Amino acid sequence: LLKRRQTAMARTAKKSDVLRKIPAFEKLTSDQLSLFLVAMRLETYSSGETICKVGDTSDRLWVLTKGRVSVFVGDDGGTPDRVMNSVCVFGETAILDDDGATRKATCVASSAVEVLSLGRVAFFRICGEIDVEDLVLGLRQTASDIYNCGRSADDPELRYIA
């Protein structure tokens, strides 16, 4: 029992360290962060496995903790529009948009991947319990920074992803 408790505490500490590296989460108190950690679930994907695809219901966001994820905007599935390396957040734009929004990109594991996932319902339940305006603004900025990286402001293709 003690060994399992120590293992669980070590996993929680590791997840906390990962979230602290993401600007949107860095201003949260330890108590606030722990609410998110409890609600997050570890998921693993093999190389080539689809994490989410265009048109899927936006029911969660992910924090990439290990590996690489290729992002394909639209349905073509050709060359990735971008590749994300750990540690970053994806799927946050759709979860912050209106209920029933759908994914605007397909995300595929391009190596063995570990992510922490957080469902939409849990995200908004936690947001209702604490003041997280900075977190929501930070996630929106993260989405903008990820997508707009290397693009000029007048590029007509600028749009949020996942």
The pLDDT assigned to 9 comes to 57
Cα angle: 111, vertex 115, 117; to 5 degrees:
145
Note whether 21 and 85 are within 8 A (CB).
Answer: no
pLDDT grade for 135, boundaries at 50, 70 and 90: low
**DSSP reduced 3-state for 107:** strand
Query: In the predicted model, is pLDDT for residue 154 greater than 90?
Result: no
Instruction: Determine the pLDDT at residue 106.
Output: 92
> CA 96 from chain center: how many Å?
12
Would you say residue 115 has pLDDT above 60? yes
Cβ 86 vs Cβ 66: under 8 Å: yes
Is the pLDDT confidence value at 157 over 80?
Answer: no
pLDDT the model gives residue 29 = 84
Q: Is the pTM of this model over 0.85?
A: no
For residue 57, the 8-state DSSP code is: B
